[in-house]
């Protein structure tokens, strides 16, 4: 589900194909829009929508609080498509409307002039979505807004504005962040809040592209953290590894986090993530967390790299289930007005099932608080200690207050109404006070027998009823109050008649086409009605809920709306085209027509069968059958390698020729997409020695990894299986390494096993590395106590590869061994290119000339390579003066260098047979084998799937290779290039990529 998916169709309005006339509500021209219009407007932003009947009812705050000592009342009404609300520090309530208007309510009165009206795109869930006030608002008057901008392209934007009383300072907008151009119109997120750290937190949806949630190249599908001026804090958890705006990522793996809140006093942050297939989530915010979308939603097992939801509830009907989590507010007001049991509780709501619940942030105990709230989309705790909810379905703000010992008060008065003769007329009132409240309706000052409810309906109004005045007396044990009078007007005029001509009954659609519509309107009294009397609306239905599509459009008799190809991928969908017509006195009639999709069967499978495939970003076992809407963009992919039936499998190709992960357009006929795999050895095998105690890692009887063996022969054999740029470690049998309670444990399968980053620690002639998991606040391997389980994820092991520092993470030595029972596994020196191979001399290229036992080999060839500078992405060439410079724009332009082993170092021979030396701090190809420079090669790690190295000479005060000036000779030996493999740091030595090539034939 998503906040774009949730108007559950009410039981009293059956959903059926074709055209169905809906009895028009007879209302005064100045009365509010029919509820179905209000709901449709809401859907256009949030998408979790409950479809209301088209008849106009007088809206009231009708929440039923479980505790009779609470009462609901209307605080603000007359809102058009409200989305979120926030109290200003001075007590004013600011309410966002989807159309771009930011409204202000003062003491419960909605000001006629908006604070500001932004130009926004209102398609589907786009619009004005969030507002937050600067912690220093009283002095700087700053507030922050999230909205869908149309400047340049359609994209979401966060801007800062300056307030001048109840209106914005003209021209004060400061754009803080422009997010990527939107593909789909749904899953926008949109909440903004300040944390106790003074940083601005922003929730952003994945824009219906699920892979965005796991990518650190996009800010979509994340909770972001900014400085108040829009800059990105350098202590963000992904600052060093993400790109662009994604550096602002504070937590990832979110689908559509429309709302979240920060607890006053503690800073605890709860994120409401709208689900898809089965669950709605509350996620406890923490830096660096990955909440798992699209791999999982709801509770899960065996995914140690992911963060479980704090609380999740299933999709369905009733008060224990729902389809669209919304709102969210901690009850920690400056003035406590609820009993102490409520203090510190987190309130949240489900938009489609109309309930409000609370949960204890410490125990996780959930309690139902209120039902029958009219589409609650946002919650807030007011400065008076009451709980406020934004009732999207009613265009109101409701106020739930603790009413013990309070006399009755009326928050919403009954409204005058116009009806056609024979139609019902309804009057309602919203009151609060100490329960129980009793109601006594009066007509022309006389009690109406049996009219003792908050609402009164005259079932069939007659002409004789016209002019009648209706009011209600509300009473409790502490007093009574009387409402204002509402006047009923009854007319003999008949409602108009709306007729849809196109789409025709039974019409179908395919994605990426236009949905055209046309119709007419007539009225018994007015005759043929002009286009100005016609209002069109298109709603996208998915299963039992709806997404918004085309907003209310008035003044046309025909038109078209582009059906998107990106967004909802399910096939149980359709569009509903509505036409509402209004006559000269305000009577209305609505009709609709449903248009269903053209669908085809799709199959995603694998060879061999049974491996895991990704369908629209979600993992499923192959073969997987689904149904697609023709023209909709779908995606398939696979993770590689995979482990099944005791074997490793590497992705080879897709049957349609696409990349490992790629999109396709659903074709017009049934289709099968097959992922082809080939068996692979999986990776190299090693025994691992702890540098801290010089003992070898073993697995104890509890499955924990400890440094327990004093001899290599007693060590566990681990197979390092490349998984992208990271590694999974396989032990005996089918057990893979994971992290349980910060300890390395052999208790996972391949899918759930932890993926570790391997970090080169350098030093000496042995392969010395550190391992980093994704779990914990400082997730590096460390032997905390001799003989105890190796730690990974505890909070005390930040630092560098330094075993002498008890607070630092440490290095481990990898000793290559044959993989158990696998004669075809990687064998150092066998001349075959094998992924992940490591040798004692520091080589990581397979077939590199090392001997069969991976000991330091005698002088020999380690293979030939072209070398690319990471700084400029150009390939090293040899110029006319025999100087080595990064000049080649393609690999074929690059010089071929042969790495000739020289003990633990290398000499480099060029194509012409001359060797590399350092002359005046510049790399020069002019030496003989005896005069050539011996270089130490450092493993800088794997980046982007490629091996990355640094080279160090023995000449000069700072002897590392660096492309100081693009196009000029490579430096080695000058005094300015000390440091680490970091091309962004001009004072650092840098890394180079080695691409294996065939050695040239020399005479």
Burial grade of 901 (CB within 10 A; 0-12, 13-18, 19 or more): buried
Kind and range of the H or E element at 926?
A: strand 922-927
**Contacts with 235 (C-beta within 8 Å, 6 or more apart), sequence order:** none
- To which residue do tokens 């299933």 refer? 314
Nearest to 676 by CA among 708, 653, 694: 653
Task: Collect the ranges in the chain with pLDDT lower than 50.
Answer: 1-47, 49-60, 823-859
* DSSP secondary structure code for residue 278 in this structure: S
Rg of the Cα trace of the chain?
Answer: 34
Closest to 63 measured CA to CA, from 328, 355, 325: 355
Hey, what are 81's tokens?
Answer: 């498509």
3-state secondary structure of 988: coil
The answer to whether the CB of 802 falls within 8 A of the CB of 755 is no
pLDDT score of 985: 61
* Backbone φ and ψ of 109, nearest 5°: -105, 125
Enumerate the β-bridge partners of residue 354: none
Alpha-carbon gap, residue 781 to 15, rounded angstroms = 58
Report the C-alpha gap between 630 and 633 in whole angstroms. Answer: 9
Instruction: Give the β-pairing of 486-491 and 417-420.
Output: parallel
Backbone phi and psi for residue 354, each to the nearest 5 degrees, phi listed first: 65, 30
State the pLDDT at residue 439.
Answer: 97
Both structure tokens of 337: 């007005």
The edge-to-edge listing of strands for the beta sheet with 671-680 is 624-629, 599-607, 671-680, 647-654, 642-644
CA distance 235 to 751: 31
| CA separation for the pair 535, 627 (Å, rounded) | 34
Half-sphere exposure of 437 (CA within 13 A, CB side): 29
Residue 982: per-residue pLDDT = 66
> Quick one: pLDDT at residue 895?
94
Alpha-carbon distances of 665 from 8, 333, 410, 621, rounded to whole Å: 29, 51, 56, 22
- H or E stretch covering 628: strand 624-629
Hey, how many other C-beta atoms are within 10 angstroms of the C-beta on 364? 10
pLDDT for residue 296: 87
pLDDT, residue 139, reads: 93
pTM of the shown model: 0.59
What is the rounded distance in angstroms from the CA atom of residue 350 to the CA atom of residue 364? 17
How far is the C-alpha of 398 from the C-alpha of 708, rounded, in Å? 64
What's the rounded Cα separation, in Å, for the pair 369 and 248? Answer: 36
Kindly state the tokens that stand for 934: 């011996």
């Amino acid at each position: 589900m998503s906040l774009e998916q949730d108007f559950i169709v009410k039981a009293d309005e059956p959903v059926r194909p074709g055209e169905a006339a809906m009895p028009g509500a007879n209302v005064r021209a100045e009365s509010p829009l029919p509820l179905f219009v209000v709901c449709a407007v809401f859907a256009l932003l949030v998408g979790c929508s409950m479809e209301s009947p088209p008849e106009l009812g007088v809206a009231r705050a009708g929440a039923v609080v479980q505790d009779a000592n609470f009462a609901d009342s209307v605080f603000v009404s007359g809102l058009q498509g409200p989305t979120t609300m926030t109290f200003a520090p001075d007590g004013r309530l600011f309410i966002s409307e989807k159309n771009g208007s930011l409204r202000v309510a003062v003491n419960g009165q909605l000001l006629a002039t908006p604070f500001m009206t932004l130009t926004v795109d209102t398609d589907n869930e786009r619009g004005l979505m969030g507002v937050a006030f600067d912690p220093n608002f009283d002095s700087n008057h700053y507030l922050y807004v999230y909205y869908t901008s149309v400047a340049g392209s359609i994209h979401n934007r966060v801007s800062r504005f300056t307030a001048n009383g109840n209106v914005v300072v003209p021209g004060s907008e400061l754009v803080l962040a422009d997010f990527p151009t939107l593909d789909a119109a749904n899953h926008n997120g949109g909440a903004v809040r300040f944390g106790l750290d003074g940083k601005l937190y922003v929730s952003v949806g994945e824009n219906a592209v699920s892979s965005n949630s796991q990518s650190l190249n996009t800010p979509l599908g994340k909770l972001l953290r900014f400085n108040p001026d829009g800059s990105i804090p350098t202590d963000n958890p992904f600052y060093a590894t993400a790109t662009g705006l994604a550096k602002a990522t504070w937590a990832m793996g979110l689908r559509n986090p429309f709302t979240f809140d920060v607890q006053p006093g503690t800073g605890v942050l709860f994120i409401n993530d709208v689900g898809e297939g089965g669950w709605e989530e509350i996620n406890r915010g923490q830096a660096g967390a990955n909440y798992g979308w699209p791999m999982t939603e709801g509770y899960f097992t065996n995914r140690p790299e992911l963060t479980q939801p704090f609380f999740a509830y299933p999709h369905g009907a009733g008060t224990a289930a729902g389809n669209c989590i919304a709102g969210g507010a901690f009850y920690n007001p400056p003035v406590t007005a609820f009993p102490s049991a409520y203090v510190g509780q987190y309130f949240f709501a489900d938009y489609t099932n109309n309930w409000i619940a609370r949960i204890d942030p410490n125990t996780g105990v959930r309690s139902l608080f209120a039902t029958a709230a009219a589409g609650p989309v946002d919650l807030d705790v007011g400065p008076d200690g009451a709980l406020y909810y934004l009732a999207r379905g009613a265009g109101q703000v409701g106020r739930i207050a603790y009413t013990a010992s309070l006399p009755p008060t009326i928050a919403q008065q009954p409204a005058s109404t116009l009806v056609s003769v024979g139609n019902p007329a309804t009057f309602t009132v919203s009151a609060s006070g100490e329960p129980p409240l009793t109601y006594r309706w009066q007509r022309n000052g006389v009690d109406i027998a049996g009219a003792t409810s908050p609402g009164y309906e005259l079932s069939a109004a007659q002409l004789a009823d016209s002019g009648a005045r209706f009011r209600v007396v509300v009473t409790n044990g502490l007093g009574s109050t009387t409402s204002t009078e509402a006047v009923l007007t009854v007319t003999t005029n008949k409602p108009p008649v709306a007729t849809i001509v196109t789409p025709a009954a039974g019409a179908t659609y395919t994605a990426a086409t236009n949905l055209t519509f046309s119709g007419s309107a007539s009225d018994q009294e007015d005759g043929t009605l002009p286009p100005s009397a016609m209002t069109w609306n298109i709603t996208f239905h998915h299963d039992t809920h709806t997404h918004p599509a085309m907003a209310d459009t008035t003044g046309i008799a025909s038109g078209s709306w582009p059906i998107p190809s990106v967004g909802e991928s399910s096939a149980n969908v359709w569009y509903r085209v509505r036409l509402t017509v209004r006559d000269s006195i305000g009577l209305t009639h609505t009709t609709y027509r449903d248009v269903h999709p053209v669908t085809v069967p799709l199959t995603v499978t694998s060879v061999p069968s049974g491996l895991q495939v990704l369908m629209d970003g979600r993992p499923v076992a192959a073969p997987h059958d689904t149904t697609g809407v023709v023209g909709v963009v779908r995606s398939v992919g696979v993770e590689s390698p995979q482990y099944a039936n005791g074997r490793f499998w590497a992705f080879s190709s897709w049957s349609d020729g696409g990349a490992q992960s790629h999109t396709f357009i659903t074709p017009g006929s049934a289709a099968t997409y097959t992922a082809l795999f080939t068996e692979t050895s999986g990776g190299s095998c090693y025994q691992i020695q702890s540098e801290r105690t010089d003992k070898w890692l073993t697995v104890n009887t509890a499955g924990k990894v400890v440094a327990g063996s004093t001899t290599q022969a007693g060590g566990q054999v681990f197979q390092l299986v490349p998984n992208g740029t990271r590694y999974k470690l396989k032990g005996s049998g089918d057990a893979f390494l994971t992290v349980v309670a910060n300890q390395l444990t052999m208790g996972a399968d391949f899918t759930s096993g932890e993926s570790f980053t391997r970090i080169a620690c350098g030093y000496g002639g042995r392969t010395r590395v550190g391992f980093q998991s994704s779990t914990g606040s400082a997730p590096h391997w460390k032997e905390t106590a001799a003989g105890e389980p190796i730690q990974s994820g505890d909070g005390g092991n930040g630092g560098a590869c330094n075993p002498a520092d008890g607070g630092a993470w440490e290095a481990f030595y990898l000793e290559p061994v044959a993989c158990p029972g696998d004669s075809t596994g990687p064998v150092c020196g066998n001349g075959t290119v094998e992924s992940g191979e490591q040798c004692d001399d520091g080589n990581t290229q397979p077939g590199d000339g090392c001997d069969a036992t991976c000991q330091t080999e005698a002088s020999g060839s380690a293979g030939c390579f072209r070398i690319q500078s990471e700084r400029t992405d150009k390939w090293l060439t040899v110029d006319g003066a025999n100087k080595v410079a990064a000049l080649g724009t393609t690999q074929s332009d690059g010089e071929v260098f042969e790495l000739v082993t020289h003990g633990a170092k290398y000499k480099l021979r060029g194509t012409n047979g001359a060797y590399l030396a350092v002359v005046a701090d510049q790399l020069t190809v002019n030496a003989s084998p005896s005069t050539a420079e011996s270089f130490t090669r450092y493993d800088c790690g794997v980046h982007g799937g490629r091996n990355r190295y640094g080279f160090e000479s023995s000449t000069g005060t700072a002897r590392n290779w660096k492309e100081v000036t693009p196009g000029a000779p490579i430096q080695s030996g000058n005094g300015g290039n000390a440091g680490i493999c970091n091309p962004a740091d001009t004072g650092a030595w840098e890394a180079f990529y080695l691409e294996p090539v065939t050695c040239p034939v020399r005479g």
